[in-house]
Copies of this chain bind each other. A is one copy, B any other.
Amino acid sequence: MRYARIPDQAVQRLAMYLRAVLVLQDRGIWHVSSKDLAGQVGVNDWQVRKDFSYFGELGTPGVGYDLRKLQRDIRRILRLDKKRSAILVGVGNLGKAILAYGGFARYGLRIMAAFDNDPQKVGKVVNGIRIQDVSMLKRIASGKVSLAILAIPAASAQEVVDCLVDAGIKGILSFAPCPLKVPKKVRVVGIDIAMHLATMPYYLSSD
C-alpha cells in the first residue's frame, strides 16, 4: 500500500533511522527508545516520534521500539521491502569505488550493470560486472531497473540522463557536478562533492 506523501526531509531521516536500526541489530540489540535512536541519528526524540507517526509506529512505553518490526515498517514505507536493481554509468575511480562497495545489499539494492564510453574499459569485468558501452543503455529492461547512479563528468551528464529517462529510469543518483533537467516523474538526487564541501566554510565559527 502507498502512504500519504511524506516530506523529503522525513524520507531522508527514515533512511537514517533504518541505517541506525541495522547497526543496532548488528550489535545484537532488539529494542531501542526514541531517545537512543534520536541520539544515533542526531535528531531530537520528538522528531523520531513525529517521523514514525507517518506509519503509526508508537513503540511500547518502557520497552521502546521493536527493531525487527521497525526495520520491517521503515523498509515498507521507503518501498525497500522488495529487491531493486540499479545501473551505474561511469566506471572511473568513483564508479569503481561504487562497484566495490558492499553497502547497497543491506537496503535490498543491487548494481546489476555498469556502462562507460571508454573503449579501453568496455568489456572489462569489475567486481563481477562486465562494463558495457553506453550505447547499450537503450537496451535496459525498464521493467527490471528503475534506478541509476551517474558517476560521469558534467559535460556528458545531461545527454546520458536524457538517455536514462528514455530507457524508463525513474530515480537517478548523480555525482555529475551540474544541474540536470528531467521530467517531473523522475527523481534526481545530486551529490556534488565540491559543492557540498563549499557549504562548510559558512559554519566555521572561528576565522
A: residues with CB less than 8 A from B are 6, 11-12, 14-16, 18-20, 23, 40-42, 77-80, 84, 86, 92-94, 96-98, 100-101, 103-104, 106-107, 109, 146-147, 149, 170-171, 173, 177-179, 185, 187, 189, 191-207
Contact = CB atoms under 8 A, between A and B. Distances in A.
Contacts of A196: 15, 173, 189, 191
Contacts of A194: 101, 103-104, 106-107, 109
A80 to B, nearest CB: 6
A19 B202 contact: no
A147 B197 contact: yes
B100 A147 contact: no
Contacts of A100: 92-93
A189 B185 contact: no
Nearest to A190: B16
Contacts of A206: 170
B41 A198 contact: no
B15 A79 contact: no
B11 A199 contact: yes
A6 B202 contact: yes
A173 B193 contact: yes
A193 B95 CA distance: 12
Contact of A16 (B78, B195, B205): B195
Given A192-B19, A195-B107, A203 B179 contact: no
B103 A203 contact: no
Contact of A198 (B6, B93, B109, B146): B109
Contacts of A86: 197
B15 A205 contact: no
Nearest to A98: B193
A12 B103 CA distance: 26
Contacts of A40: 179
A198 B101 contact: no
Contacts of A78: 198-199, 201-202
B19 A103 contact: no
